[in-house]
A and B are shown apart, each in its own frame.
Chain A
Amino acid sequence: ARLPRSAVLKKILDSVKDLVKETNWDCNEEGMSMQALDTGRIVLVEVMLREAAFESYACEVPMTLGIDMEPFGKVLRCAGGDEKVTIKASRNDQDHIELVFENEEKERMSAFELKLMDIDGEHMAVPDAEWGAEISMPSSEFKKIVMDLAEIGSDLTIAVSKLGVTFTAQGNNCKGSMVLQPSTAVDKKSEQVAISFTEPLEMTFAAPYMKMITKAAALSSTVTLSLDEACPICVRYEMEDNAGHIKYYLAPKED
């Protein structure tokens, strides 16, 4: 599997490493995907890197690669963001993978081996849900709202109504809320705020977890929040050019 830029892998690692220390990557002809629970079992994260994400991709037999994020991160730090990455896994030797970074301008090539792990990962079936509310907005804006409000309090409430979407945090000494309304005057789709809902709803989530989830803003200019009463929120980042996505399901806080 050859990626045109290592930056994609670096960003994916950054988006999951606070939640997941080791995970199985499933490789098949469609691409590479992973699903993992965080150690607190509060978040389920799913990453899909489709074949379209790669400059070249071949997977003759489906394989599962058990990857320890810490050494994977050390190896990836050796790659320049604009260097090509080739990941090689051999069906004859499933003990390790090889990673090759190529810098075409400087005619430099570096090669690494990463030992694979035998990970006994749980796998969850996530049914297609009928969401009560969906909000799409610039991922940078969502990140700023969450980062700011997480400083105010550890509970982040998201309310959707005719007023728009309201994010509220309450701490011991202060309370803050931010309201976003659907944008009408913005041409660029990536800068638009779109809100749809069937009934008004209000859900509360742990702000520190939501903060970790906003790290994936580096992967996509937009984010979609899908909510339903008494259900986990789904925070979805779609990568450009059908390259794949990262989805987080975060369990609510309730009485």
Chain B
Amino acid sequence: ALMQREIVPYFEAL
């Protein structure tokens, strides 16, 4: 099964 990624690691937190 595929795993749902979180969005946060793709961007830089300000």
Contact = CB atoms under 8 A, between A and B. Distances in A.
A253 B7 CA distance: 11
A254 B13 contact: no
Contact of A249 (B3, B4, B7): B7
A37 B7 contact: yes
Interface string A208-225: 000000000000000000
Given A124-B14, A125-B14, A254 B2 contact: yes
Interface string A115-142: 0000000111111000000000000000
Contact of B2 (A123, A232, A255): A255
Interface string B1-14: 01111111011111
A42 interface: yes
A124 B12 contact: yes
A25 B4 CA distance: 28
27 contacts: A37-B7, A37-B8, A41-B8, A42-B5, A42-B6, A42-B7, A44-B7, A122-B13, A124-B14, A125-B13, A125-B14, A126-B11, A127-B11, A127-B12, A155-B2, A204-B2, A206-B4, A232-B7, A249-B10, A251-B5, A251-B6, A251-B7, A253-B2, A253-B4, A254-B3, A255-B2, A255-B3
Please give me the 10 A-B residue pairs with the lowest Cβ-Cβ distance, nearest first.
A253-B2, A124-B11, A251-B5, A123-B14, A251-B7, A125-B12, A41-B6, A44-B7, A253-B4, A232-B10
Interface of B: 2-8, 10-14
Interface of A: 37, 41-44, 122-127, 155, 204, 206, 231-232, 249-255
Given A124-B11, A127-B12, 18 more contacts: A37-B7, A41-B6, A41-B8, A42-B5, A42-B6, A42-B7, A122-B13, A123-B13, A123-B14, A124-B8, A125-B12, A206-B4, A232-B5, A251-B6, A251-B7, A252-B5, A253-B3, A253-B5
